[in-house]
Amino acid sequence: MNAFGITLNMISLFALVMAIGIVVDDAIVVIEAVNVKIAQEGLEPLEATQKAMKEISGAIVAVTLVMASVFIPVAFMGGPEGMFYRQFSITIASGIVLSGFTALTLTPSLCALILTRERDNHIKKTWLNRVLDKFNAGFDKGIGGYRNVLQRTVSRKIITLPLLLLFCIGAFFINNSLPSGFIPQEDQGMIYAVIETPPGATIERTNKVAHQLASIIAREDGIESVSSLAGYEILSEGTSANSGSCLINLKPWKERSRTAKEIINDLENKCQQITDANIEFFEPPSIPGYGAASGFELRLLDKTGSNDYHAMEKVSKSFVSALNKRPEIGSAFTFYSASFPQYMLRVDNNIAAQKGITLGTAMDNLSTLIGSDYETGFVRFGKPYKVIVQADPKYRAFPQDLMQLNVKNNQGKMVPYADFLHMEKVYGMSEMTRHNLYNSAEVTGSAAAGYSSGQAIKAIEEVATSTLPHGYDYDFAGITKDEVDQGNQALIIFIVCLTFVYLILSAQYENFLLPLPIITCLPRASVEHSFS
């Protein structure tokens, strides 16, 4: 494992547990074969071991190669899903190879040394032996009945071929009907909450809501601690006065009886009393770095080229509303808003030109006065100092103060901004987000209880096809994009594994027809696996 860069984690440990079962299976086959030779033919343990190994060595080699050929191609899967499968496949394939080696070397040696004939031990039969003898007799009778059924049916193609076709059809429809998923969500003992007050709300109002929410969360059973932060939104990592976040730490599993999902559902019901803010709860992603939240993530794209942010707001809210009506979607939300109160500066270029002022000069000067500008630096008393130029606070306290500011024209005279500029109140974006150069709106959500991420993605595609107007599109992001991009990779890997198995069995049997009965068992196994 260390040679392949694999560490001990939940995935590799799970593979090791499965490999232990496979190792035991190979050893059991050898022991059973030797014991049969001793019991039925009366051979000595060493002779029985030699004769049994001549019969089953080829089968053990075939089983080892076939099982290894099933798992090794899985190690070549790409993407985040391939990272998980690679550790699992390499670990279990290594265990399979070691299992075959042990079954061909150590197990026969132990059989020759340890196993004995029952009559040599003069074992007196007890009631337990009599019960086991009856069980073995019944089991042998069942094997005989099964053998008779096979002898009557296996040669009748009118029965076997329709059954094989029926299993193939059943496997196809069952596999298509089963919900698909990517990486399951795990309870990590943490919950995030995002707060959105109405556009234009002050940081004081958002902070009040954050404290109110924190007090509700702190009283919830299973909560260990909660931290609130106003002005920062953890989902998009943006800053604004009307947004806030809460970081909720849950108690350890042994100290709580509910899952994170159940606590979220309870908190959503209790927070309905907070009417002046939109609050959304979500869990962190299963894999750190793949998005900011669990569930699905996508971007609505405005490809019309109009840059109409108000139209984009209507489309995004309509799309989210349609998503929440689908049974596959547990919750979907977006914080996209073009309703933030703002001031638009209208410049009369003709008047500005008459007064000898260029637009660039006016805006640069205004940026320095309202914002700030770094001019120079100096060292005094052994410490560096920066010189920042900015208007005094009393001259930039209110929007109307802007009209009292001046800018120097090309003749060196001071010209008031009010002579060529006026302000008007408008509504717009607090910050503009782009995705692949298009104006975008982020939509986040999670699948409903009882539905998989694959079903949620299919529902999103159907809603987008039916509700998005012409010129608007969508693109998945985060771990959802990786799930969609996987495509038919699993099917391709399955075909490669099947090809490997067929070629190895063909080489083992030196015949291209003998492996076909083994391959044709897969549809039946697939149906049984689906029902299990």
> What pLDDT, on a 0 to 100 scale, did the predictor assign at position 209?
92
> What pLDDT, on a 0 to 100 scale, did the predictor assign at position 509?
77
> What pLDDT, on a 0 to 100 scale, did the predictor assign at position 126?
77
- Binned at pLDDT 50, 70 and 90, residue 42 comes out as confident
Q: Which residue has the higher pLDDT, 119 or 372?
A: 372
Question: What are the tens digits of pLDDT across the range 445-484?
Answer: 888 877 888 888 999 999 999 999 999 999 998 778 877 8
Beta strands in 74-137 (DSSP E): none
**Signed CA dihedral, 39, 42, 44, 49: sign only:** negative
Question: What are the tens digits of pLDDT across the range 321-370?
Answer: 999 999 989 889 888 888 888 889 999 999 999 999 998 999 999 999 99
Compute CA distances 34 → 54, 451, 504, 512, whole Å: 11, 50, 27, 31
Q: Average pLDDT over the chain, rounded to whole? A: 84
Question: What are the tens digits of pLDDT across the range 230-286?
Answer: 988 888 777 888 899 999 999 988 888 888 888 988 998 898 888 888 898 988 887
pLDDT above 70 as % of the chain: 92
Tokens linked to 162 = 């329709």
CA angle 521, 524, 525 (to 5 degrees): 80
Amino acid (1-letter code) at residue 237: E
Of 54, 51, 93, 63, the C-alpha closest to 76 is: 93
Question: What are the tens digits of pLDDT across the range 78-129?
Answer: 766 677 778 888 888 888 888 888 888 888 998 888 887 655 555 566 788 7
Q: Which residue has the tokens 């042998």?
A: 140
**Signed CA dihedral, 354, 360, 361, 363: sign only:** positive
- Binned at pLDDT 50, 70 and 90, residue 384 comes out as very high
> What pLDDT, on a 0 to 100 scale, did the predictor assign at position 528?
63
pLDDT above 90 as % of the chain: 23
DSSP 8-state code for residue 178: S
> What pLDDT, on a 0 to 100 scale, did the predictor assign at position 176?
67
Amino acid (1-letter code) at residue 465: T
Average confidence (pLDDT) over 399-420: 90
> What pLDDT, on a 0 to 100 scale, did the predictor assign at position 153?
77
**Signed CA dihedral, 346, 347, 350, 355: sign only:** positive
User: CA-based Rg of the chain, rounded to a whole angstrom?
Assistant: 36
> What pLDDT, on a 0 to 100 scale, did the predictor assign at position 181?
65
Question: What are the tens digits of pLDDT across the range 385-403?
Answer: 999 999 999 988 888 888 8
> What pLDDT, on a 0 to 100 scale, did the predictor assign at position 233?
85
> What pLDDT, on a 0 to 100 scale, did the predictor assign at position 147?
86
Q: Is the pLDDT of residue 317 over 80?
A: yes
Helix (H, G, I), strand (E, B) or coil at 312: helix
Q: Which residue has the tokens 């802007």?
A: 402
Q: Which residue has the higher pLDDT, 201 or 487?
A: 201
Helix (H, G, I), strand (E, B) or coil at 217: helix
DSSP 8-state code for residue 73: G
DSSP string, 384-442: EEEEEE---GGGSSSGGGGGG-EEE-TTS-EEEGGGTEEEEEEEE-SS--EETTEEEEE
Average confidence (pLDDT) over 220-235: 88
- Binned at pLDDT 50, 70 and 90, residue 316 comes out as very high
Q: What are phi and psi of 468, to 5 degrees?
A: -70, 130
Amino acid (1-letter code) at residue 76: F
297 close to 236: Cβ distance less than 8 angstroms: no
Of 258, 280, 289, the C-alpha closest to 187 is: 258
Measured CA to CA, the distance from residue 139 to residue 123 in angstroms comes to: 23
Amino acid (1-letter code) at residue 13: L
> What pLDDT, on a 0 to 100 scale, did the predictor assign at position 532?
56
Amino acid (1-letter code) at residue 273: Q
* Cα 204–chain centre separation: 37
- Binned at pLDDT 50, 70 and 90, residue 152 comes out as confident
Q: Which residues contact 38 (CB under 8 A, 6 or more apart)?
A: 44, 45, 48, 115, 116, 117
Terminal CA-CA length for the chain: 31
Measured CA to CA, the distance from residue 97 to residue 95 in angstroms comes to: 6
Q: Is the pLDDT of residue 315 over 90?
A: yes
Ordered structural domains, the chain, with CATH: 1-123 (1.20.1640.10), 186-284 (3.30.70.1430), 295-338+429-484 (3.30.70.1440), 340-425 (3.30.2090.10)
